[in-house]
Amino acid sequence: MGLTQTLHTGVSGLSSQSDGMGVVANNIANANSKGFKRDRAEFEDMVQSEGSVGRLQEKVGRGAKIKDVRTIHSQGNLTTTDNLTDLAIQGGGMFILNNPDAAADSTEGRMFTRAGAFIFDREGYMADISGARVQGYEALPTGQISSRIGDFRINTNSIPPHQTENIKLDMNLDARTKVIEGDFDATKPDSTSNFGTSVAVFDSHGRTHQVSLFFKRVSDAENSNWKWYAMADGKEIVNPDGDLHEIASGEIKFDAKGELSEQIVNKSEANFAGGAALGQAINFDFGKKSTDEVKKAVGGTTCLAAKSGTNYHTQDGYESGMIKALRIDPTGIVRGQYTNGLNRNLGAVALATFENIDGLRKGGRNTFFQSLESGPAKVGMAQTSNRGSVFSSTLEESNVDIAQEFVNMILTQRAFQANSRSITTTDTMIEEVLNLKR
């Protein structure tokens, strides 16, 4: 190898170390970029090509060059914020963004990122600051998450009211209670019944009505029987029978152990006033029976020697509600909290993983594009496969280690200096050769 070739070898070292310093400088510049993934310069040596030189000369290196700038996709630290739509991933997934200005058939329109500083744009779509829209799954009217993916939009419409159709009660009726002779009298409900309680129901307009339930023991034999009457305020009923109007009635029977053995509904029809739908039927359910295959009478009404009382009751009606708050679960599901107490799924953020994440191509603004080397995106919900969990009001910091980058800077600087010395030393050697003529 000639001395002049040595000069070119030194120059290749200067060039590769300059590029390496550029990688280090870029990492340091993006130390505070949310979701940024640091790069690492990987070098390789160059040797003389075969053919024109001897075997020995082929073993003499011809310098170095950068083989690849590899992105290190390690997890960055998570920091909390006060913005609900700031999202971070703990795991291997990436958010999917779609550029609405890109052509529909262009892969450049779909981007992937770990930087989750999102907002809701004026059309209600979740997007980044550049306008690229987050991809997610829409929610069906039932609240289930569909498998259809698209631009993620939150529906903030109000929930229409729903009239009560089912009431479930878990009670105890005192087995020590004596039978009251005579029929139940709606004008004297307290004196002609053994126990009373009340539940709230909703009509088709979402108005609340208090329904009083009265229980009258009709048999104190081994298998005790009780009759019940559901009474509504006559002022709230179309054509009432009196101050209290019967909207439902039935009978419940207990076995010798005091467990519910049978429940019967004789009638159920409510005609609430004010323009509500007439003929509202309400199903009263007093819980599991002793003949059910599940654990006997667990959660069912009982007749035991204890004070009568209601353990709990539920009903499926509700008034109209407006959305008042949003919550994002680690599964990526966005839930809406409404003024009527309901919680509903509004959609879910989609995440993507790749067979070869190192094959992704950088697109700027902390985004990546898929490539042939990365393989196609494998899209799914958070907490499935290795996509990780989503945390709201959280952002992922860059994975740049400043201390390590300064060490890399020092090493790169020293390598650059050493290569410059090889050039000046070679120049001195050439000068000595020229001096041989003197």
Residues 307 and 186 in one domain: yes
Residue 119's SS3 state is strand
In the chain, the number of structural domains is: 3
Structure-token pair, residue 436: 């041989």
* Helices 3-29, 402-435: inter-axial angle, 10-degree rounding: 160
Residues 190 and 117 in one domain: no
Q: What does the alpha-carbon distance between residue 295 and residue 4 come to, in Å, rounded to a whole number?
A: 92
Identify the pLDDT of residue 106. Answer: 47
Residues 246 and 152 in one domain: no
Give residue 267's domain range: 166-315
Structure-token pair, residue 54: 């001897």
Residues 87 and 64 in one domain: no
Residues 207 and 307 in one domain: yes
Residues 209 and 340 in one domain: no
Q: Are 87 and 392 in contact (CB under 8 A)?
A: yes
Q: What does the alpha-carbon distance between residue 141 and residue 168 come to, in Å, rounded to a whole number?
A: 24
**For the ranges 104-108, 201-205, 218-222, the one whose mean pLDDT is highest:** 201-205
Say which CATH number the domain at 230 has. 2.60.98.20
Residue 54 has pLDDT above 70, yes or no: no
Structure-token pair, residue 60: 């003499």
Residue 417's SS3 state is helix
Q: Are 338 and 365 in contact (CB under 8 A)?
A: no
Q: In 196-331, which residue ranges form alpha helices assigned H by DSSP?
A: none
Q: Are 338 and 324 in contact (CB under 8 A)?
A: yes
Residues 223 and 98 in one domain: no
3-state helix, strand, coil in the chain (%, to 5): 15, 40, 45
Residue 30 has pLDDT above 70, yes or no: yes
Q: What does the alpha-carbon distance between residue 138 and residue 135 come to, in Å, rounded to a whole number?
A: 10
Q: What does the alpha-carbon distance between residue 348 and residue 143 come to, in Å, rounded to a whole number?
A: 11
Nearest to 135 by CA among 332, 351, 328: 351
Looking at the chain, how many residues does it have? 438
Q: Are 270 and 282 in contact (CB under 8 A)?
A: yes
Identify the pLDDT of residue 155. Answer: 82
Residues 181 and 264 in one domain: yes
- 150 — phi, psi (to 5°)? -175, -170
Structure-token pair, residue 265: 């509904």
Residues 228 and 259 in one domain: yes
- Regarding beta strands 260-268 and 323-328, do their DSSP bridges make them parallel or antiparallel, or are they unpaired? unpaired
- 30 — phi, psi (to 5°)? -105, 20
**Between the CA of residue 226 and those of 187, 216, 253, what are the distances in Å?**
20, 6, 6
Structure-token pair, residue 48: 């003389």
Residues 66 and 118 in one domain: no
* Max Cα-Cα span within the chain: 141
Q: What does the alpha-carbon distance between residue 119 and residue 78 come to, in Å, rounded to a whole number?
A: 19
Residue 302 has pLDDT above 70, yes or no: yes
**Per-residue pLDDT tens over the stretch 334-387:** 999 999 989 999 999 999 999 999 999 998 889 999 999 999 999 999 999 899
Residue 271 has pLDDT above 70, yes or no: yes
- Amino acid occupying residue 366: N
Identify the pLDDT of residue 105. Answer: 42
- Average of pLDDT values for 87-100? 93
Residues 171 and 297 in one domain: yes
Residues 426 and 335 in one domain: no
Tokens 């108005």 appear where? 207
287, 315, 343: which is the final residue of a domain?
315
Query: To the nearest whole percent, how much of the chain has pLDDT over 90?
Result: 69
The model's confidence at residue 56, banded by pLDDT at 50, 70 and 90, is low
Residue 49 has pLDDT above 60, yes or no: no
The model's confidence at residue 330, banded by pLDDT at 50, 70 and 90, is very high
